[in-house]
Structure 1
Amino acid sequence: MINFKHLHYFWMTAKQGSITKASEHLHITPQTISGQIQLLEEQLGKALFNKAGRNLALTDTGRMVLSYADEIFSLGNELEQSIRTASTDRTSLLRVGIADSIPKSIAYRLLAPAMELEDPIRFLCKENSLESLLGELALHKLDLIIADGPIPPHLGVRGYNHFLGECGTAFMAAPSLIQQTDNRFPQCLIDAPFLIPSDQSLIQVKLLQWLEKQHIHPKIMGEFDDRALMKTFGQAGAGVFIVPEAIAEEVASQFHVEVLGHTEEIREQFFAIATEQRLTNPALIAIKDAAKEWLKNPKSDM
């Protein structure tokens, strides 16, 4: 097992650029630091530094070790800070990753129950691709991920999928565009301009399969990673777009658009991905329980 004192001396030397500067910062002799780094190199079986004039340059192995050391000592500082403030601050930090395929209003509705707990919660929300977020979850940088699907099997990431619920899909458009349609839904979609989520979202495949099944071939005017941007284009009349039926009324009010039709055949699913097989964190339990109730009956309050 790595000696963390040796690792700390290496880390400080790498940050300061030389053993002399590190010794001044740590108030110990250069010989002590040099000896500790040498012991670390012997344990790892690799050189960590090369001499570059009066300074030291990291080897490839040294750069890799430094990246881990940054993470280790950063977490150590966080732990120390948390312990210091624990006695005076009851606020808990909940680090949540939100897959960029998740509509932002859905993310809010799913997380809101945690804000109603007796013990206050402070959110740290990160939005990224599911693959990137799973990497952060594996490094314990996140407590939870909100996603539109379970962990992809090919990634080999250790985690547990907690199903939150699902709902049908609503097709929406600006009133000016709806006035141009003569047929009933879904035939009104034939040759209609269409805005679809990008392939980052699992719903795209379901949507295209459903359209093919209905023998409908709309004119796809754009694909969007950001579904909020897709709604903005839809609001301007650029095309028909889809939203989870659970938020259709909210989207209609916010973006001044109307529901063109809906289907239960295209189901949007929502998952909470965590490192816990059985959720014990009160905030996570509140999110899961309220989500199931809301998605079972989207018109009810959370």
Structure 2
Amino acid sequence: MNLKHLHYFWAIARFGGLSRAAEQLKLSPGTLSGQVAELQLGLGVELLRQVGRGLELTDAGRVAYSYADEIFGLTDELEAQVRAMPSGRARLFRVGMTDAVPRSLAYRLLAPLVEDQGVRLTASHERLDVLLAELALHRLEVVIADRPVPTGSAVKAYNHVLGTTPMGLFAAPALAKHLRPGFPASLAVAPLLVPGRDSVVYEQLRQWLESHRLAVRIVGEFDDGGLMKTFGASGIGAFPAPLTVRIEIERLYGVELVGVLEGVTERYYAISTERRATDPQVVRLLALADNLLSESSAPVPPRQAVKASPRKSLRKAR
């Protein structure tokens, strides 16, 4: 059996169609179709059948896909184990991160790995669906994200919880000085910068504002957390950020903590193709996270009474 042909069949089944698999593998659909046809000819059975404009697995195809999934999962583990063995050259460790992962947190997690002379790190930022596709094709060892693998995802991957951090609201010194005495009621008259609506924090922040009966003025919505902080540093508005990296945020952006967003948290995950983390660097990453992330918050100014405001949702207030 030609394992390359089997891999092409596996990719079509994994990514839900010929076009999507061809895009991920950077091959033409015609080439991919021809290679799978050779696999079917060699096996003497039909693995995929045309249904409308798409393809679906036959009974034989489902059996073949199950075995192929195990085969390529094992090759992934084999590669990780062999790479971890002393070889006289640095081992490549490829990490993908979503934009919601703070750069300062990523640095604290990954810097110790770079300091190991036996490891050469490559890191990239992308949407979670793109990163999971890269992980499935063994182009990444691990993905660090602010959410787990979506339910029903075509990619077979496993979530390893890194930890949870409470969130705080930060602002440039002049704005922070104005907001801090009456926080959180003071937010009713303050400009606010928020994460994009795909962010886990966005919905929590919306609920937090509603619980405090606050109608706010949103002046910016950002998918890129670093860009949001840069805008916040200029004094344009206050923004949420993890308290775990409070010191780095205050130092890098010249901002100050206004107050804690009680009940608003962000959880981070290391996503791998292994049910139990066996890659030595992934295991080390999980151990580092245990020391960096906790539920405790940094000291904050005392809270003052909240003045009631008209009850509006975050979206309506825009």
C-alpha contact 1:149 1:270 (8 A) present in aligned 2: yes
Measure, in 2, the Cα distance between the counterparts of 1:188 and 1:3. 63
Measure, in 2, the Cα distance between the counterparts of 1:242 and 1:3. 48
* Number of aligned residues: 232
Are the structure 2 counterparts of residues 41 and 97 from structure 1 closer, same or farther at C-alpha, using a change threshold of 3 Å? same
C-alpha contact 1:195 1:234 (8 A) present in aligned 2: yes
Match of 1:2 in 2: 2
Following superposition, the deviation at residue 195 of structure 1 comes to: 0.4
Match of 2:174 in 1: 176
Measure, in 2, the Cα distance between the counterparts of 1:133 and 1:184. 42
Are the structure 2 counterparts of residues 44 and 278 from structure 1 closer, same or farther at C-alpha, using a change threshold of 3 Å? closer
User: Is 1:108 matched with 2:107?
Assistant: yes
Match of 2:195 in 1: 197
C-alpha contact 1:247 1:298 (8 A) present in aligned 2: no
Are the structure 2 counterparts of residues 156 and 190 from structure 1 closer, same or farther at C-alpha, using a change threshold of 3 Å? same
C-alpha contact 2:180 2:258 (8 A) present in aligned 1: no
Are the structure 2 counterparts of residues 175 and 298 from structure 1 closer, same or farther at C-alpha, using a change threshold of 3 Å? closer
Following superposition, the deviation at residue 3 of structure 1 comes to: 7.8
Measure, in 2, the Cα distance between the counterparts of 1:180 and 1:3. 65
Match of 1:142 in 2: 140
Measure, in 1, the Cα distance between the counterparts of 2:212 and 2:156. 39
C-alpha contact 2:208 2:261 (8 A) present in aligned 1: no
C-alpha contact 1:164 1:291 (8 A) present in aligned 2: yes
Correspondence 1:183-262 to 2 at 5 A? 183-262=181-260
Following superposition, the deviation at residue 115 of structure 1 comes to: 3.0
Following superposition, the deviation at residue 106 of structure 1 comes to: 1.5
- Which structure 1 segments of 5+ residues have no match? 6-37, 46-78
For each residue in 1:79-114, what CA deviation from the matched residue of structure 2 results, as whole angstroms up to 9, or x when unmatched? 9xx99xx7441x111111101221111111122232
Following superposition, the deviation at residue 204 of structure 1 comes to: 1.0
- Which structure 2 segments of 5+ residues have no match? 6-36, 45-78, 299-318
Are the structure 2 counterparts of residues 138 and 259 from structure 1 closer, same or farther at C-alpha, using a change threshold of 3 Å? same
Give me the identity figure in percent.
39
Following superposition, the deviation at residue 199 of structure 1 comes to: 2.0
C-alpha contact 2:145 2:270 (8 A) present in aligned 1: yes
C-alpha contact 2:179 2:258 (8 A) present in aligned 1: no
Could you tell me the TM-score, scaled by structure 2's length?
0.65
For each residue in 1:186-219, what CA deviation from the matched residue of structure 2 results, as whole angstroms up to 9, or x when unmatched? 1111131000111232111111111111111211
Are the structure 2 counterparts of residues 43 and 277 from structure 1 closer, same or farther at C-alpha, using a change threshold of 3 Å? closer
C-alpha contact 2:176 2:257 (8 A) present in aligned 1: no
For each residue in 1:18-64, what CA deviation from the matched residue of structure 2 results, as whole angstroms up to 9, or x when unmatched? xxxxxxxxxxxxxxxxxxxx97896599xxxxxxxxxxxxxxxxxxx
Measure, in 2, the Cα distance between the counterparts of 1:112 and 1:264. 30
Match of 2:276 in 1: 278
C-alpha contact 2:168 2:257 (8 A) present in aligned 1: yes
Following superposition, the deviation at residue 263 of structure 1 comes to: 2.9
Match of 1:266 in 2: 264
For each residue in 1:249-273, what CA deviation from the matched residue of structure 2 results, as whole angstroms up to 9, or x when unmatched? 2111111111100134111101100
Alpha-carbon RMSD = 3.1
Measure, in 1, the Cα distance between the counterparts of 2:229 and 2:38. 59
Could you say what secondary structure the match of 1:154 adopts?
A: coil
Following superposition, the deviation at residue 177 of structure 1 comes to: 1.5
C-alpha contact 2:165 2:265 (8 A) present in aligned 1: yes
Q: Bigger radius of gyration, 1 or 2?
A: 1
